Amino acid sequence: MRICMILDHHFPPDIRIEKEARSLAAAGHTITLMCRNRGDQPESETIGGIRVNRIRYTPPKFLGGYSLSYHLRFVDLVWEKALEKGLEEHPADALHVHDLPMVKTCLRIGRRRKIRVVFDMHENWPEELIQGRKPREDNSWVRMRDRIRNFVLFNNRRYVRLEKEVIRKADRIIVVVDEMKDRLTSLGIDPLKITVVMNTSPGDTAFSIDPAGTDFPEWTGRFVVAYAGGFQSLRGLDTLVRAAAIARKRIPNILLLLMGQGDQEALLNLQCQSLDLAGHAVFTGWIPLEEMMRRLRRSDVCVIPHRVNPHTDTTIPHKLFQYMALAKPVVATPVAPIRRIVEETDCGIVVPDGSAEEMAEALVRLTDRRLAARLGENGRKAVEIRYHWEADSKKLVELYGSPTFAKN
């Protein structure tokens, strides 16, 4: 089958898109990925057997990264024109579209060309708007501007209506956790239309890391507490920083390792300074996946301090399975899917959302090497047995190979 994947972002990097595309290509499907051009990338290239075609897309900044036609009708005419041209050059039997903003545009094209549309639903987009697009705190003018922009351009109620429309019209829906599947079925979607493909890691993750440079001698004698991912407010990193400051009284050699980037980075740096964590916190910025995994392998404890809300309760981060694959004990907040997996596999400690004191206590408990090793080993075994990409990719391949899907 010829599959055209659509990603309204840059590629690489994107762990999920790469894993899905490679798995489908390995199963014999022809994959074309259309995405945005960062500006310094070739318009077309082949990466690991995936044909990547990029479009130049530069709407005004005040539109939040989208065209005016998108904000008016949720149909992006820039993308529509680019997709039509791309499909003339490389015809497809299915459009595999990642995330909500591009789905309506792809449904229009799918209807015209009589090809199927698969909606790969990474997250609860309407709820993410509420949690992720909060006004900045610079000054009153900026706050007012952001409130007006968010109300006009990113109004949650409009996105709720959009989501309800496209989940009805899409031929198939892929979600990342059972909790999202339950949410969609509660909205009247046939469960047979939904496939759960989790953000798991390959089963051999721990063995695929190049051992060169993983010792990090500068961390000798340090108790390394690691986080990898975005630095947005809903990630709860302020709680983790406060927890590290509290735990430092009982773990003098603690080192907080924060890998990633986001709009909270400057505030987190200031918070570390104010809590006297100089010399006890390292910010790496964005680093390639392999570099991140090397640092995770050297860590003692890995943390997911996410805020509990309807957005985080219906998605799951790659980092949970990366931590587990590396046999690291996990400290996490009770976000529904994460809590379910951590407690089911006994791979870590769940602490209340926003409680720096209880998170610090969990870190102290995990200085017990026997406890940490037991929890970490439980996570590693769970990845080997169940939570690995080989199992999830099989479900993805089966979706595209099913007679009911291929019929049309």
What pLDDT shows up at residue 203? 77
Are 33 and 7 a contacting pair, CB within 8 Å? yes
More confident residue, 126 or 207: 126
How much is the average pLDDT of 180-200?
A: 96
Whether 257 and 338 share a structural domain? yes
Question: Amino acid letter at 379?
Answer: G
Whether 176 and 271 share a structural domain? no
Per-residue pLDDT of 252-261, as tens digits, reads 999 999 999 9
Round to whole Å and give the CA distance between 96 and 46. Answer: 18
List Cβ<8 Å contacts ≥24 apart for 13-18: 13/288, 13/289, 15/199, 15/289, 15/318, 16/98, 16/122, 16/199, 16/318, 17/98, 18/48, 18/50
What pLDDT shows up at residue 215? 74
Whether 64 and 13 share a structural domain? yes
Percent of the chain with pLDDT over 70: 92
How many other CB atoms are found less than 10 A from the CB of residue 389?
26
Whether 238 and 282 share a structural domain? yes
Whether 254 and 402 share a structural domain? no
Count H helices and E strands in the chain, helices first. 17, 14
Whether 14 and 148 share a structural domain? yes
Percent of the chain with pLDDT over 90: 75
Domain span at 144: 2-200+390-406
Find which of 178-182, 260-264, 288-292 is predicted with most confidence, using mean pLDDT.
178-182
Round to whole Å and give the CA distance between 400 and 167. Answer: 18
Whether 184 and 261 share a structural domain? no
Q: How many domains does the chain have?
A: 2
Binning pLDDT at 50, 70 and 90, where does residue 126 land? confident
Quote the pTM value: 0.91
Binning pLDDT at 50, 70 and 90, where does residue 217 land? confident
Q: What is the CATH number of the domain that holds 362?
A: 3.40.50.2000
Round to whole Å and give the CA distance between 335 and 89. Answer: 44
Question: Amino acid letter at 57?
Answer: Y
Whether 297 and 397 share a structural domain? no
Token digits of residue 321: 């399975």
Binning pLDDT at 50, 70 and 90, where does residue 132 land? low
Whether 346 and 250 share a structural domain? yes
Which of 125-134, 244-253, 303-312 bottoms out in mean pLDDT, i.e. has the lowest? 125-134
How much is the average pLDDT of 145-170?
A: 84
Are 232 and 260 a contacting pair, CB within 8 Å? no
How much is the average pLDDT of 342-351?
A: 98
Burial class for 220, CB neighbours closer than 10 Å (0-12, 13-18, 19+):
exposed
How much is the average pLDDT of 6-17?
A: 92
Per-residue pLDDT of 44-96, as tens digits, reads 999 988 999 999 988 877 787 888 898 889 999 999 999 999 999 999 999 99
Round to whole Å and give the CA distance between 149 and 5. Answer: 30
What pLDDT shows up at residue 134? 53
Residues pairing with 53 in the sheet:
34, 44
How much is the average pLDDT of 180-194?
A: 96
How much is the average pLDDT of 152-169?
A: 89
Whether 6 and 28 share a structural domain? yes
Whether 190 and 279 share a structural domain? no
Token digits of residue 256: 């907080």
Whether 174 and 298 share a structural domain? no
Residues pairing with 120 in the sheet:
98, 174
Q: Is the pLDDT of residue 139 over 80?
A: no
Q: Which residue has the tokens 């209506």?
A: 161
Binning pLDDT at 50, 70 and 90, where does residue 185 land? very high
